[in-house]
């Protein structure tokens, strides 16, 4: 394969269209969704697409795809107006556009912008989210004064003391009155109106408080009552996406009480607002009730939560199981069943109870993602695809369809994995194998499109990816299985997976094994090369090398190390060092490429720096690539040109070191 052909494949990314956040109109006759592209300037841009379900005709409803970012469309209760977020005025603000045509008009001009519009039931106003405080001129010479434990966040940088508040915005043309409904010094999100419009519920993040790591509380606020908002979860926990029942007497929401700290399964809950009694309606199933499936290609929009049916007898929600994310139904009587599934990734979902239909975004390993409608009738679901976003593009590129297999771990635990054959596979040839390790660790690989995997398969590599213990999708005991034992049973699961693949697929060349992963997968890549020399080359991405320093430099280190590794710096620093790949650097002989983002605050770049210097000082084969203007999410939502550069370095390192071994 020529270098020109190889470079073309990394740049597939520029040709793809990404669709998400589908919204069904109140009467079910239209769907609007967001279409995102990479424009000629190699920047993301997006616009709204409107689909007439009766005719199948769809057209670009706003013109942002070439220049602006139009997103978060939301139908007015009468279906005549769409509210959406756009940066066309310079920063994100709320805009309105009539669904029968005409130009969009800007509704908000808030100093700190506005996002997440939610219509009042009578259509007279919107709830939006906006930061409080005033803009200040930045002075690069002015010191940053820090008093809080939580003072930085990946993707946001250093926190500026501003907090996201819930605002009430009338939609009348002549009204400029905006009312702040919250003012507490915490971030607020997920607002929702009561059916009669007299009250709202929202989520308040409390992790700014010492010891309240990742805590999110539910509050109800009665708009005509000057009293304090009422907190529902007095016993703590982490709860999101509250939804009112049709009669206004109950709420549904997603979350847990940290029974297993950060590895606790999310469940679907309801609360009776009269008695304040909580009920977990998915307690009977060992199911993660969110989308935990990883992809580097698409996005879904805000979490839909658990959406009530018309008579309030149950809710619909997304859940992750056995490498798939589907739509499930849970009755208030705890009856649970899957509604829409298959070997697919349902990554966005909007349900309209009045018509008992939904709009959904779905991906699979050979389809990036498209919009579907679902019509429910008892246990039957009628599905219709209403977009073909990448059909023509994907016909031009060779793709590999993964094969699922299971294998038994060293202690008898069943592990699920997938093997992608190289594009153009021939029975009489042998091929190198790349082991891909996911991050989290409490996420999962599965039946979703992965550009990185397809790229490697197109370059002649077999690709193996598995869900070792610690992954989501296999129950509470499984997801909890790696905590306190990083590099133990999870490492054995991965190595046993490689052995199982070698035994099952005779075409894999055992002398040409490669490994890569990001975040937790980067930690595990570092760990693997410190424990075995069986891999010819490795690429570690946004990794962890030293848990002792991670404790103090990561935006989550001060609680994540205790939750996951089983200790913190004060309690047992030796345990942190025992699980640190840097401890075993003398044993690393595998050529190791280190990819890291300059602005990564989740796994800060000093983690890569320590490993690089230790390796280079020992004259080991290594190289360090630092990506500017990028955070922990470079591979998924980073600048398009840098995403392409990352893939070039990844594949180039493997190509080079396989060439050296031949």
Which DSSP string do the residues of 589-630 spell out, in sequence order? Answer: -S-EEEEEETT-TTTTTHHHHHHHHHHHHTT-SEEEEEETT-
pLDDT value of position 315 = 98
- The DSSP call for residue 187 is E
Beta bridge pairs of residue 29: none
Element (H, E) at 244: strand 238-244
Long-range contacts of 58-61 (CB under 8 A, 24+ apart): 58/386, 58/387, 60/35, 61/32, 61/97
Does a structural domain hold residue 51?
no
The answer to whether the bond into 59 is cis (omega within 30° of 0) is no
Residues 76-85, mean pLDDT to the nearest whole number = 98
| Cβ atoms of 416 and 407 closer than 8 Å | no
- Other CB atoms within a 10 A radius of the CB of residue 345 amount to 29
Q: How confident is the model at residue 303 (pLDDT cuts 50, 70, 90)?
A: confident
- The DSSP call for residue 283 is T
Cα separation, 440 vs 302, in Å, equals 20
CA distances from 326 to 330, 349, 448, 513 (A): 13, 10, 12, 34
Residue 194 annotated among the catalytic residues of the structure: no
Report the alpha-carbon angle 401-407-411, nearest 5.
150
Least confident of 125-129, 394-398, 464-468: 394-398
pLDDT digits (tens, 9 = 90+) for 22-56: 999 999 999 999 999 999 999 999 999 999 999 99
Find tokens 């020399």 and name the residue. Answer: 533
- The DSSP call for residue 565 is I
| Cβ atoms of 564 and 630 closer than 8 Å | no
Cα separation, 218 vs 215, in Å, equals 10
**Is pLDDT above 50 for 484?**
yes
Domains of the chain: total = 1
pLDDT digits (tens, 9 = 90+) for 601-650: 999 999 999 999 999 999 999 999 999 999 999 999 999 999 999 999 99
Element (H, E) at 27: none
Cα separation, 311 vs 194, in Å, equals 16
- Give the rounded distance of the alpha carbon of 527 from its chain centre: 25
- The DSSP call for residue 561 is I
Cα separation, 79 vs 24, in Å, equals 10
- The DSSP call for residue 13 is G
Q: How confident is the model at residue 175 (pLDDT cuts 50, 70, 90)?
A: low
- The DSSP call for residue 264 is P
Q: How confident is the model at residue 662 (pLDDT cuts 50, 70, 90)?
A: low
Does a structural domain hold residue 637?
yes
Cα separation, 530 vs 509, in Å, equals 22
Element (H, E) at 228: none
The catalytic residue among 519, 543, 549, 567 is 519
Does a structural domain hold residue 286?
no
- The DSSP call for residue 227 is S
3-state SS assignment for residue 554:
coil
Cα separation, 439 vs 524, in Å, equals 9
pLDDT value of position 176 = 67
DSSP string computed for 108-163: ---TT--EEEEE-TTSSEEEEEEE-S------TTSPPP---S--EETTTEE--S--
- Cβ contacts of 503 within 8 Å, gap of 6 or more: none
| Cβ atoms of 110 and 166 closer than 8 Å | no
Cα separation, 56 vs 124, in Å, equals 31
Please count the CA atoms within 13 angstroms of the CA of 542 that sit on its side-chain side: 27
pLDDT value of position 3 = 36
State the CATH number of the domain containing residue 413: 3.40.50.1820
**Helix crossing, 451-458 with 640-661: angle to 10°?**
40
Does a structural domain hold residue 431?
yes
Cα separation, 479 vs 476, in Å, equals 5
Radius of gyration of the chain from its Cα atoms, rounded to whole angstroms: 25
Of residues 141 and 411, which shows the higher confidence score?
411
Cα separation, 306 vs 481, in Å, equals 28
224: burial class by Cβ within 10 Å (0-12, 13-18, 19+)?
exposed
pLDDT value of position 212 = 74
Share of the chain above pLDDT 90, in %: 87
pTM: 0.96
**Is pLDDT above 80 for 327?**
yes
pLDDT value of position 198 = 97
**Is pLDDT above 70 for 358?**
yes
Q: What is the mean pLDDT of the chain?
A: 94
| Cβ atoms of 465 and 438 closer than 8 Å | yes
Nearest one of 357, 322, 364 to 339, comparing CA atoms: 357
Residue 451 annotated among the catalytic residues of the structure: no
Q: How confident is the model at residue 495 (pLDDT cuts 50, 70, 90)?
A: very high
pLDDT value of position 138 = 67
pLDDT digits (tens, 9 = 90+) for 391-439: 988 888 889 999 999 999 989 999 999 999 999 999 999 999 999 999 9
**Is pLDDT above 90 for 63?**
no
**Is pLDDT above 50 for 319?**
yes
- Other CB atoms within a 10 A radius of the CB of residue 597 amount to 27
pLDDT value of position 242 = 98
Does a structural domain hold residue 516?
yes
Q: Which two tokens stand for residue 598?
A: 């300059």
Does a structural domain hold residue 35?
no
Residues 79-92, mean pLDDT to the nearest whole number = 96
Q: How confident is the model at residue 661 (pLDDT cuts 50, 70, 90)?
A: low
Nearest one of 68, 70, 78, 77 to 50, comparing CA atoms: 70
Judged by phi (left if over 0) then psi (alpha if -120 to 50, else beta), residue 343 lies in beta
Q: How confident is the model at residue 209 (pLDDT cuts 50, 70, 90)?
A: low
Does a structural domain hold residue 67?
no
Q: What domain range is 444 assigned to? A: 406-545+580-661
Does a structural domain hold residue 241?
no
Of residues 144 and 74, which shows the higher confidence score?
74
Nearest one of 64, 32, 59, 31 to 47, comparing CA atoms: 64
pLDDT value of position 4 = 39
Residues 98-114, mean pLDDT to the nearest whole number = 93
Least confident of 5-14, 410-419, 530-539, 633-642: 5-14
Q: Which two tokens stand for residue 49?
A: 């697409």
- Cβ contacts of 67 within 8 Å, gap of 6 or more: 39, 45, 88
**Is pLDDT above 70 for 318?**
yes
**Helix crossing, 489-504 with 520-531: angle to 10°?**
80
The catalytic residue among 163, 350, 632, 657 is 632
């Amino acid at each position: 394969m020529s270098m020109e052909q190889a470079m073309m494949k990394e740049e597939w990314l520029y040709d793809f269209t990404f669709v998400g956040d589908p919204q069904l109109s109140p009467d079910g006759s239209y769907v609007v969704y967001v279409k995102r592209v990479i424009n000629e300037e190699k920047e993301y841009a997006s616009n709204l697409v409107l689909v007439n379900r009766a005719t199948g005709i769809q057209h670009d409803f706003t013109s942002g795809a070439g220049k602006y970012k139009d997103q978060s469309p939301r139908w007015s209760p009468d279906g005549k107006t769409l509210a959406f977020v756009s940066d066309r005025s310079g920063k994100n603000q709320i805009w309105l556009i009539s669904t029968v045509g005409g130009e969009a008009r800007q509704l908000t001009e808030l100093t700190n912008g506005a996002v997440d519009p939610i219509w009042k039931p009578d259509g007279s106003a919107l709830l939006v989210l906006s930061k409080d405080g005033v803009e200040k001129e930045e002075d690069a010479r002015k010191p940053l004064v820090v008093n809080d434990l939580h003072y930085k966040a990946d993707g946001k940088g250093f926190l500026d003391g501003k907090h996201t508040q819930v605002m009430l915005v009338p939609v009348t043309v002549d009204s400029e009155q905006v009312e702040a409904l919250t003012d507490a010094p915490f971030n607020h999100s997920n607002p929702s109106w009561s059916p009669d419009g007299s009250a709202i519920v929202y989520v308040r993040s409390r992790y700014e408080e010492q010891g309240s790591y990742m805590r999110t509380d539910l509050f109800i606020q009665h708009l005509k009552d000057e009293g304090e908002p009422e907190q529902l979860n007095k016993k703590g926990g982490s709860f999101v996406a509250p939804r009112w029942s049709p009669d206004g007497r109950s709420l549904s929401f997603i979350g847990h009480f940290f029974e297993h700290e950060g590895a606790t399964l999310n469940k679907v809950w309801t609360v009776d607002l009269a008695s304040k009694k909580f009920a977990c309606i998915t307690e009977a199933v060992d199911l993660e009730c969110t989308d935990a499936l990883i992809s580097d290609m698409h996005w879904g929009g805000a979490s839909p939560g658990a959406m009530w049916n018309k008579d309030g007898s149950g809710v619909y929600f997304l859940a992750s199981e056995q490498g798939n994310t589907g739509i499930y139904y849970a009755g208030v009587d705890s009856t649970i069943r899957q509604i829409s599934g298959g070997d697919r990734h349902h990554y966005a979902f909007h349900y309209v109870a009045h018509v008992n239909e939904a709009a959904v975004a779905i991906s699979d390993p050979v389809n990036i993602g498209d919009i579907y409608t679902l019509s429910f009738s008892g246990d039957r679901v009628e599905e219709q695809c209403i977009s073909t976003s990448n059909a023509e593009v994907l016909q031009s590129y060779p793709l590999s369809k993964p094969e699922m297999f299971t294998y038994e771990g060293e202690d008898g635990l069943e592990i699920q994995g997938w093997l992608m054959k190289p594009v153009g596979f021939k029975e009489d040839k042998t091929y190198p194998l790349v082991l891909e390790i996911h991050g989290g660790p409490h996420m999962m690989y599965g039946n979703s499109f992965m550009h990185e995997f397809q790229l490697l398969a197109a370059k002649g590599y077999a690709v193996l990816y598995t869900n070792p213990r610690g992954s989501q999708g296999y129950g509470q005991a499984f997801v909890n299985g790696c905590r306190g034992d990083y590099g133990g049973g999870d490492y054995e699961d991965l190595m046993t997976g490689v052995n199982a693949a070698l035994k099952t697929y005779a075409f894999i060349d055992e002398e040409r094994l490669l490994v890569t992963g990001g975040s937790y997968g980067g930690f595990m890549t570092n760990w693997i090369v410190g424990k075995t020399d069986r891999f010819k080359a490795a690429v570690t991405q946004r990794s962890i090398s030293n848990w002792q320093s991670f404790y103090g430099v990561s935006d989550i280190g001060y609680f994540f190390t205790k939750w996951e590794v089983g200790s913190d710096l004060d309690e047992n620093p030796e345990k942190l060092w025992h699980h640190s790949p840097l401890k075993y650097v003398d044993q690393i002989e595998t050529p190791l490429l280190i990819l890291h983002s300059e602005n990564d605050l989740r796994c800060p770049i000093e983690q890569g720096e320590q490993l690089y210097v230790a390796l280079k000082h020992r004259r080991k084969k290594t190289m360090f690539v630092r990506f500017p203007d990028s955070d922990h999410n470079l591979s998924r939502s980073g600048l398009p040109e840098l995403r392409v550069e990352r893939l070039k370095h990844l594949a180039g390192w493997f190509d080079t070191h396989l060439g050296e071994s031949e």
